[in-house]
Structure 1
């Protein structure tokens, strides 16, 4: 669930005064969502999204109780938590052992725009992705078997179509596509090509990925025909060359120019035996 907590609040900065009361309220909402997910035969459910200040070891008991309640409530699908990419949040979580797979939202930069003046090459991007994957592998290999044996799914992956977007793919969209955020469809496409190639070059680390920000209704790039001031440099690959790259990586065909459907792709390595369908549920909580 994505928590929308007010204009001056961001979900990864949430740290309530009364943590016990907060988890009690949040737990009720998650329990209700898990009931709905069971009725709809949803295969997987995330119990949280980037709650950075609430996911460290101090609050492990709350998460374990919440997850146990979901199981006892009758939800039979897979459970995960969508963590901010390693090494920001993923490694601080100490309840991976009772979840079904490790979820990691992957928005890591491909260049430092303040020190690098040369646009990165395709080979440079592959190398950058590979180093990220290998760095993560060092951590997960050091974990107990009840964690290191888990499959790893990138629960969000995306790169905006601009130089600035490659430098800070986690940042908010600008109001207009100018300067370092001038539209560059080629760079976005290169980033996705390099991403998929790096996954092939580093097998057994990342077991799947969800390509996110596909004209997401919660963002200003939702309608490419209605918001041309943002869409050209946004995360959305819809209607851009990257759309064909993504479709091909998933074993599909390049969509026609007339295809205006919004889609979320889930990429999996060939050695993954399970298919994971993620339900993206929007929850509004006023704190």
Structure 2
């Protein structure tokens, strides 16, 4: 079954990419998941073999609920890869293998509630949240500068926080720039980016690209690409308006039936594994965006350090590891890397 799917994906790729395009170097990234322990060179080799030239390193902070203003980070209760020490170890090892880094600190709400819904009920709590979030982001801005990180992401999917406190975010960017001298972005949710007010202060328009593109149980290349057209036109126009490249700070699909209908879905229901759907949707996205000069590249969601122990034919989660989608990504990443 796996062999037939790989043959199908390869055939679709050859047919759809027959036209010659100019090679461009892109940000060919993976979202590298933190682990309990330090990592070794053998954990980096699969990233290199994928043709990736970037990895997003994601230290987490934690809040108790959506209305809680205090953030906890860099504690002894966190996994090693989520702490400052772990982040530095990961970055150093990736740099030694010529993999650049986007440092992307993120909030985790207890029970996995959506960070975009974070909202305080009192002005005093908003102030506490702002101070706590600044401590978190500025601490990792220092890590980014000291570790010579190429891109720093100032937040991920925090639409209510931004909608309610836009002046705070403008001030935060000023403070970050006093510390960190590299490129900046923010990871806006797919339905959030058009109202994010500070793109002109950043280097990339960052989008977590979970756009609905195909409602079928098993999508086709042509159907998925058709489903991208309205979204793509809007994204391109937005890039032109702000004179900034688009960066998919996250992109990816589950290997599951109806994977293109609501790609942001993270529930653990045990639906039918559909490796072909993941591969086709991934290919359609790469074909639509990777050749565009207004598009910087992106980071596939998500990549685990123990490559041989994750993914595979029975996994319906996001990782492309040990699935046909991995080969689709490898083909594109190696094509768009100089």
TM-score range, shorter chain: 0.7 to 0.9
Matched residue SS, 1:3: strand
Residue pairs, 1:112-123, within 5 angstroms: 112=215, 119-123=218-222
Aligned twin of 2:109: 5
Matched residue SS, 2:234: helix
Aligned twin of 1:256: none
1:6 CA displacement: 1.6
Cα distance change, pair 93–44 in 1 and its aligned pair in 2 (3 A): same
1:226 CA displacement: 7.1
Match of 2:229 among 130, 146, 156: 130
Aligned twin of 1:78: 183
Output the CA distance in 2 between the equivalents of 1:77 and 1:9: 31
Instruction: List structure 1 segments (4+ residues) > 3 angstroms apart after TM superposition.
Output: 138-141, 222-228
Say whether residues 1:243 and 2:332 are aligned partners: no
Residue pairs, 1:138-157, within 5 angstroms: 138-141=237-240, 143=241, 148-157=242-251
Aligned twin of 2:297: 208
Matched residue SS, 1:26: helix
Matched residue SS, 1:204: coil
After alignment, is 45-54 or 6-15 more displaced?
6-15
Output the CA distance in 1 between the equivalents of 2:320 and 2:327: 9
Residue pairs, 1:182-197, within 5 angstroms: 182-197=272-287
Output the CA distance in 2 between the equivalents of 1:59 and 1:136: 25
Output the CA distance in 2 between the equivalents of 1:167 and 1:158: 13
TM-score normalised to the size of structure 2?
0.62
Output the CA distance in 1 between the equivalents of 2:294 and 2:238: 11
User: Is 1:125–1:194's contact at 8 Å kept on the other side of the alignment?
Assistant: yes
User: Is 1:34–1:45's contact at 8 Å kept on the other side of the alignment?
Assistant: yes
1:213 CA displacement: 1.5
Larger fraction in helix: 2
Aligned twin of 1:261: none
Matched residue SS, 1:235: coil
After alignment, is 42-51 or 8-17 more displaced?
8-17
Cα distance change, pair 251–225 in 1 and its aligned pair in 2 (3 A): closer
> What stretches of structure 2 of length at least 5 have no aligned partner?
1-104
User: Is 1:47–1:80's contact at 8 Å kept on the other side of the alignment?
Assistant: yes
Matched residue SS, 1:212: strand
User: Is 1:55–1:92's contact at 8 Å kept on the other side of the alignment?
Assistant: no
Matched residue SS, 1:45: strand
User: Is 1:46–1:79's contact at 8 Å kept on the other side of the alignment?
Assistant: yes
The alignment covers a number of residue pairs equal to 231
> What stretches of structure 1 of length at least 5 have no aligned partner?
217-221, 253-266, 271-287
Output the CA distance in 2 between the equivalents of 1:107 and 1:151: 18
Matched residue SS, 2:250: strand
TM-score normalised to the size of structure 1?
0.73
Aligned twin of 1:62: 168
Match of 1:49 among 135, 139, 156: 156
Output the CA distance in 2 between the equivalents of 1:153 and 1:10: 21
Aligned twin of 2:210: 107
Residue pairs, 1:222-237, within 5 angstroms: 225=309, 232-237=315-320
